[in-house]
Structure 1
Amino acid sequence: MVSLVHGHADPAFRSVREIFEASFADGQNLGAGVAVFVDGRAVVDLWGGIANAKTGRAWERDTLCVSFSSTKAVTATAALRVATDHGISVEKPVADWWPEYARADKDSTTLADFLTHSAGLPVLDRPVSAAEAAEPGLVAGLLAAQSPLWEPGTRHGYHALTYGWLLGEFIGRHTDSTVGDYVRRELGPDLHIDVPAELLERVARLTFPAPGEREWTGDPDPISPESVRRMARAFRDPESLILRSTANPRAAYNDPEVLTGGWPATGLVTTARALAAHYRDLLAGDLLPRPVLTDAIRERVRGTDEVLGSTSAYGLGYALPSENMLVPAVARRTAFGHPGAGGSIGLADPHHRVAFAFIPNLRRDWLAGDRRAYRLLEAVYAAL
């Protein structure tokens, strides 16, 4: 039988390839890529399956795919780099550089509040179209005029989409660049937060499992049963913060208008190789000074997330292992990164010198028992 998987894996990481191959054979994956660096060396670079179920197009080495909220860590790196270059403390009020933001009891909000999902602006007060979302400054202007849902800095709740436009305003005001242009120029040419039109044909088409596979089932460990129940209830309640925060602007991520629109919280379209290389470069000190990264991955908030209902934890923009970022036990004290909807994840572990990324186009969810990235990570750590 011809293998659906291509690329290379160091012999010591053979089990990673075996698990990846098995995920196509048992239908867990349609198309996907996985990449691993250890001590800066590429030990796994695999891809395979189908990029477009409608046409049968194969997943190639250069196939791009939406990584959803894995984007947030890349946008965080960009914001921290800009802050470092301009000598701006993340603890200073946002109003120092964004005077229009000092309205509606938000004058004390800091850049750190943006990065830790503590700004109290997880939802937009009015509907926003995909076309409006692509208009520079429009969403940020709406957020500047809103009142927060809680006192900034006192609680944290996942800013699923607004996170990107808040940080994007900081990046734009200090670089005269969109987040997409800045990221490609400063962080990596294959990290596309706004896909150039000429690359759209390389983007994998997203799809969903059969309806019977989307039920709230599966082994939740290490997630508490109560967190699973809270999240399940929230996803069934149209007025819940999680649905209000993820459904406005309403997006179809196969839509070219969204892919090219530059959504800096969820719009990163890339390869697993490029996303893992981002974390490799972070660990090497090539993107941020080492003391800046050390401070950025220090835990700033942890606890029940006001939006998600599960436990989440953050440094400055980087998610830390929690119920919202599942990693094997060996990595829970030292890894940082960010997961994305449907199963993607990028992370680094400075203690174990690992950089990892997994990006699929079949959108599963951990509430339905998705453990694709988790199993690959287990194999990576077992091979070290």
Structure 2
Amino acid sequence: MTIQINGFCDPRFAAVKAAFENNFREHGDLGASVAITLEGEFVVDLWGGHLDEERTQNWQEDTLVNVWSSTKTMAAMSLLLLADRGDVDLHAPAAHYWPEFSQNGKQAIKVRHFLSHTAGLSGMEEAVEGDALYDWDWMINALARQEAWWEPGTQSGYHALTQGHLIGEIVRRVTGQSIGNFFQQEIAEPTGADFHIGAGEDLDHRIGNLVPPAQMLSPSPGSIAGRTFANPRVDPTEPRKRKWRAAEIPAANGQGNARSIVRAQTAMANGGTAFGKSIMSEAGTKRVFEKQAEGMDLVLGVPLTFGLGYGLNSDLTPISPNQNSCFWGGFGGSSIIVDQDARLCFSYVMNKMESGLLGDPRGFGLAASMYASLQA
């Protein structure tokens, strides 16, 4: 099977292009994109494959897809930007900015707990029925009423869908803007990132459908993981719906591709500056590495180290040979790496989903090829 690969690849990173081509031959990729910046300049920007399983439509240069939890890095970056400006104190109680949040014993939960999945609110207590997931006020009011499921700050438990609402409500209370609008104005537009949290109908012709994984994870129903994924329960085909795309679900419904993710996140790898624009201070980007939690995650069931908004490179998750590196990924396979030591930013985005929540061999193989290229 011959797949046409389009775009640009610096000869130094030829191994990345080879790994990308191999994903189609050996790992069943359907349509995908991979992008890398080094020292703030693109060295890889590739795309290829198809939008449909029948292979009748090609993945285009400007194709967008739902990247699931890779969206979380955009929400986190938005809050880190406000902290960098002095508008938010990450160590302050969340209720300082959102008074209603203090209900049911949550007065001591701090803003930083939202960024590190340690707030104890990994799922929803009240049943999320009908279109409640798309109703921002309903979601944040239900979270404000809820009691934490474990002692906040003591352990991480992946806030699969709730993290974006928790972070987003702080952004809204401080700026008066929805997080989708804030991100668009303060990060996406200055960096030229074609990434959207809340996508208008005008983008529908560019948004490709995801192909659901062959199998889904099924955690024990009574566990924290089971409760997290059961409510709200989101079907992998939900992103095909206009109401999903239109809503702001900052933990899960960002529409983008590898290039747009890298455009937005490059500033985090380069001292706060990207493509001629200063987004935040270098100190502001380094706050990612303030370790917040380490050990077995209550929801994902794997050992993780969390900083402020990103997973951290560690012996538990060795995603880079460089210490000051962070990462995240999305349900089905999308992934992001921000390496401040190498001043490197990487992303892989695809439409054919696998069952993993934090990446899979397709993205890992591309990242390994990238680091091998750097060391050659």
Q: What is the TM-score normalised by the length of structure 1?
A: 0.88
Taking a change above 3 Å as real, the CA distance of residues 373 and 157 of structure 1, as seen in their structure-2 partners, is same
Q: Which residue is 2:198 aligned to?
A: 194
Deviation, structure 1 residue 374: 0.8
**Deviates further, 53-62 or 295-304:** 53-62
Q: CA deviation at 1:237?
A: 2.3
**Residue 271, structure 1, aligned to residue 257, structure 2:** yes
Note if 1:297 corresponds to 2:289.
Answer: yes
The 2-side partners of 1:263 and 1:255 are apart by 13
Identity %: 32
Determine the C-alpha separation between the residues in 1 that align with 2:98 and 2:370: 43
Give 3-state SS (helix, strand or coil) of 1:57's partner: coil
* Structure 1 unmatched ranges of 5 or more: 216-231
Is this contact kept in 2: 1:92–1:111, CA < 8 A? yes
Gaps of 5+ in 2: 273-277
CA–CA distance in structure 1, aligned partners of residues 314 and 212 of structure 2: 25
Distance 1:113 1:95, change over 3 A: same
TM-score (norm 2): 0.90
CA distance in 1, matches of 2:318, 2:129: 32
In the other structure, the counterpart of 1:111 is 111
- 1:308 equivalent among 276, 279, 300: 300
Match of 2:340 in 1: 350
Question: Residues 236 and 147 of structure 1: is their aligned pair in 2 closer, same or farther, counting only changes over 3 Å?
Answer: closer
Does the CA contact (< 8 Å) of 1:311 and 1:323 recur in 2?
Answer: no
Q: Shift in Å at residue 13 of structure 1?
A: 0.7
Q: What letter matches 2:355 in structure 1?
A: D
How big is the shift at 1:55? 7.2
Q: Distance in 1 between matches of 2:54 and 2:75?
A: 32
Shift in Å, 1:365:
3.3
CA–CA distance in structure 2, aligned partners of residues 11 and 30 of structure 1: 25
Cα deviation per residue 1:90-125 (whole Å; 9 max; x = unaligned)? 111112121111121110111011111111111111
| 1:55-70 pair list within 5 angstroms | 56-70=56-70
Corresponding residue for 2:178? 178
Contact 1:101 1:144 in 2 (8 A): yes
| RMSD of Structure 2 on Structure 1 (CA) | 2.2
Report the counterpart of residue 168 of structure 1 in structure 2: 168
Q: Secondary structure at the match of 2:336?
A: strand
Structure 1 counterpart of 2:363? 373
* 1:262 to 2:248 alignment: yes
Distance in 2, matches of 1:204 and 1:182, equals 25
User: Match of 2:30?
Assistant: 30
CA contact (8 A) 1:280 1:354 kept: yes
Given residue 93 of structure 1, which amino acid in structure 2 is its aligned partner?
P
Partner AA of 1:198 in structure 2: D
Structure 2: distance between partners of 1:348 and 1:25: 28
Q: Deviations over 1:154-183 (max 9, x none)?
A: 222111111111111101111221111111
* Contact map agreement 2:219 2:225 (CA 8 A) in 1: no
Structure 1 residue 334 displacement after superposition: 2.5
Q: Distance between the aligned counterparts of 1:264 and 1:322, measured in 2?
A: 26
Residues in 2 aligned to 1:42 and 1:130: alpha-carbon distance in whole angstroms? 43
Q: 2:239 aligns with which of 235, 253, 257?
A: 253
Bigger mean CA deviation after superposition, 263-272 or 333-342: 333-342
1:129–1:250 CA contact under 8 A, matched in 2 = no
Residue 209 of structure 2 aligns with which residue? 205
Which residue identity does 2:254 align to in structure 1?
L
Give the deviation of 1:6 after TM superposition: 0.7
> Hey, what does 1:102 align to over in structure 2?
102
Alpha-carbon shift at residue 86 of structure 1 (Å)? 4.4
Deviates more, 1:29-38 or 1:333-342: 333-342
- Which segment is superposed worse, 102-111 or 290-299? 290-299
CA 1:70–1:120 in structure 2 vs 1: closer, same or farther (change >3 Å)? same
Show the 5 A alignment for 1:14-25. 14-25=14-25
Is 1:241 aligned to 2:224, yes or no? yes
When structure 1 is superposed on structure 2, of 196-205 and 361-370 the one drifting more is 361-370
Which residue, out of 298, 319, 327, partners 1:327? 319
Q: Distance in 2 between matches of 1:369 and 1:131?
A: 29
Alpha-carbon distance in structure 2 between the residues aligned to 1:240 and 1:203: 35
Contact conserved, 1:325 with 1:339, CA < 8 A, in 2? no
| Change over 3 Å in CA distance of 1:139–1:368 after alignment to 2 | closer
In the alignment, residue 14 of structure 1 is paired with which amino acid?
A
Aligned residues of 2:67 and 2:252 also touching (Cα < 8 A)? yes
d(CA) in 2 for partners of 1:5, 1:301: 40
Shift of 1:138: 1.7
The total of aligned residue pairs comes to 361
The answer to whether the 8 A contact 1:207-1:361 is kept is yes
